[in-house]
Amino acid sequence: MANKNFLPIAIDIANQKILIVGGGQSAFNKLQILHRHNAKVEILATEVCDEIKNSGVKYIEKPYDKKYIKDYLMLYSCTNNDEVDRQIEEDCRAAKVLVNIHDKPERCQFVSPAIYRTGNISVAVSSNGENVYESIRIRNLIQDKLQLN
């Protein structure tokens, strides 16, 4: 992944339309994170887990088609299907929709950092998409330190 060099930024996603393609546990986990930031999240998947169905979020139980990506700020692909992910990546880039392919940072336009937030202060730890668990570990160390003070 030598050609990737992600810029850590903070972006206001409140009331922004974000699409998650995929309806399993990784999609639900992403949904929970995005809801904390007041995004307007929608799900597109052939099968949707009960947690998503019970979350109150709008979901469409259909296969991926590029007609669904219009008017979204960004898209997270959580399909675990390489062929579908490749099509999503291609379609999003053509449509100028920011794309994140779950667990494939080399195919992403953005990655999500490990975040600790208290009040208006946010601390984000990123590993340039290469070591998510190390980012989480360091975020937790920072969180523990800040909570002691």
pLDDT tens column, 46-90: 999 999 999 999 999 999 999 999 899 999 999 999 999 999 999
Single-letter code of the amino acid located at 143: Q
CA distance 17 to 31: 12
Q: List, in order, residues 6 or more apart from 35 with CB less than 8 Å away.
A: 41, 55, 57
The pLDDT of residue 55 is 96
Average pLDDT of the chain to the nearest whole number: 92
The pLDDT of residue 2 is 54
* Lowest pLDDT segment from 8-22, 29-43, 124-138: 124-138
Contact 108, 129 (CB under 8 A): yes
- Asked whether the predicted pLDDT for residue 149 surpasses 70, the reply is no
- Proportion of the chain above pLDDT 70, given as a percent: 97
pLDDT (mean) for 33-45: 95
The pLDDT of residue 128 is 82
The pLDDT of residue 8 is 85
pLDDT (mean) for 107-133: 88
